[in-house]
Amino acid sequence: MSSTVPGRTPTMRDVAAHAAVSPMTVSRTLRGDPRVSPEMRERVLAAVEALRYRRNDLARGLRTGRSSGLLGLVITNLSNPFYSELALGVESIASAAGMRVVIGNTGGDLERERLLVDDMASRRVDGIIVVPAGHDHSHLDPDALHGLPVVLATRPPSGLDVDCVVVDDFGGSRRATAALVAQGHRRIGFLGLGRSVWTGAERLRGHCAALEEAGLPVDDALLRSVPADPGAAEAVALELLSRDDPPTALFAANNRNTVGAYRAIAETGSAAALAGFDDVPLADLFAAPIDVVTYDTGEVGRRAAELLLERIEGEEPPAHPRLVTIGTTLKRYRPLGAPHPSGG
């Protein structure tokens, strides 16, 4: 019984015809222009309702030359809780500014990242937040994108003058390692990331700094780089623990390595202590204690979005690139109560 015509979305002209006014009056009414008389406004709104008309924001944006109202977010792995919280942080700030977020998942593939950035630029997003997958950032240069604002998250730009939000990888690792040292550990195994990953290098640097500050030697034999395959961290940890003079503690440079190391320790019945970068949710339900370096992932997204919005909406955007560092906290998970007898 609705008066809509099936198969075609009504346009402003349809509304104008239905209300017997000019399209301009419809446009003004919907825009809230005060120069429309009350009775006109009412007539127009009645027609809008009758046709269930909805203004086409794409066409509107084209004419006004104004922004598309979209932010691009290109991340490596949305299913990773870190990035999904980051995405939520971006979304919350964007929404508060009346913008929507277009999301793209790269899976760590540089070629896909290029494609996504290009596609989003073609869609005329107002800015892009990227967690870059590789070291080549040339496709992220705002100069090559006609001034499209870009903000990097989690990793600093290489060869680009863009804003960036990173985590205090160095400080967090330093503190976690220092905590292990304070517990009396002298030989600590390090389960690192890929050698060329910036984040990994910083975490290694922080680890070594804490050792040096404590006057302890840095034993290269205890510093390992763990491949990204599942299971690799566990294997490397097992190898470290089975040495003639095994480390008495392990420090894992990320979440995955922490879990792998935990498994290795549990399997071997080792008494080694464990600390790791990144939170491990519910670790207080584990059987053994661990220390982790945590940080507010949502905050990374929020700050990145804020930096971006300042450049998009700002009267005079900052002349120089800015670097925001998100602080870390050392969180100690201790087993909850005595475990009850195993059933099943």
Partner DNA sequence: TGGACGCAAGGTATCGGTAACATCCCAGTT
Partner DNA sequence: AACTGGGATGTTACCGATACCTTGCGTCCA
| Chosen from its own copies, DNA, none, partner binding at 35 (C-beta under 5 to 8 Å by type) | DNA
C-alpha angle 264-331-219 in degrees, rounded to nearest 5: 50
* Shortest CB 79 distance to DNA, Å: 35
Q: Interacting stretch for DNA, rule CB under 7 A, among 11-19, 173-181, 238-246, 327-335?
A: 11-19
Copy the structure tokens of residue 254.
């990320």
The two tokens of residue 182 are 């304070």
Please list, in sequence order, all residues whose beta carbon lies within 8 angstroms of the beta carbon of residue 112, skipping any fewer than 6 positions away.
106, 133
Closer residue to its own copies (CB): 38 or 269: 269
The binder of DNA chosen from 1, 6, 7, 63 (CB under 7 A): 63
**CA 98/CA 69 separation, integer angstroms:** 7
Q: Which of residues 180-199 bind its own copies (CB under 8 A)?
A: 183
Binding residue (CB under 7 A) for DNA from 5, 46, 59, 336: 59
Determine which residue in the list 285, 313, 318, 329 makes contact with its own copies, applying CB under 8 A: 285
Query: Cβ 101 to DNA, closest distance in Å?
Result: 23
Residue with tokens 């840095």: 218
* CB-CB contact of 256 with 247 (8 Å): no
Nearer to its own copies, 204 or 309 (CB): 309
Residue 54 vs residues 58, 67, 313, 335: alpha-carbon distances, Å: 12, 19, 26, 56
Task: Determine if 336 is a binding residue for its own copies (CB under 8 A).
Answer: yes
**Residue among 16, 21, 26, 70 that touches its own copies (CB under 8 A):** 70
Residue 59 sits in the site that holds its own copies (CB under 8 A): yes
Token pair for residue 122?
């073609």
Residue 4 · residue 10 · CB < 8 Å: yes
List 270, 302, 305, 309, residue binding its own copies (CB under 8 A): 270
Tell me the C-alpha distance between 119 and 72, whole Å.
10
- 80 torsion bin: left (phi>0), alpha (psi -120 to 50), beta (else): beta
**Residue of 17, 23, 214, 248 that binds DNA (CB under 7 A):** 23
Among 32, 34, 38, 343, binds its own copies (CB under 8 A): 343
CB of 46 to DNA, least distance (A): 14
Task: Single out the residue of 17, 40, 50, 88 in contact with its own copies (rule: CB under 8 A).
Answer: 88
Using rule CB under 7 A, residue 39 touches DNA: yes
Q: Which helix or strand (DSSP H or E) is residue 47 part of?
A: helix 38-51
CB 100 within 8 A of CB 94: yes
Cβ 97 to its own copies shortest distance, Å: 13
What is the chain's Cα-based Rg?
27
Q: How far is the CB of 37 from DNA (least distance, A)?
A: 4
- DSSP-derived 3-state class of residue 327: coil
Residue 259 host element (H or E):
helix 255-268
Q: From the list 54, 66, 135, 243, which residue makes contact with its own copies (rule: CB under 8 A)?
A: 54
Q: Name the minimum Å distance from CB 49 to DNA.
A: 15
State the Cα–Cα distance between residues 236 and 243, nearest whole angstrom. Answer: 11
Q: Which residues form the interface with DNA (CB under 7 A)?
A: 9, 11-13, 21-25, 27-28, 30-31, 34-37, 39-40, 55-56, 59-60, 62-65
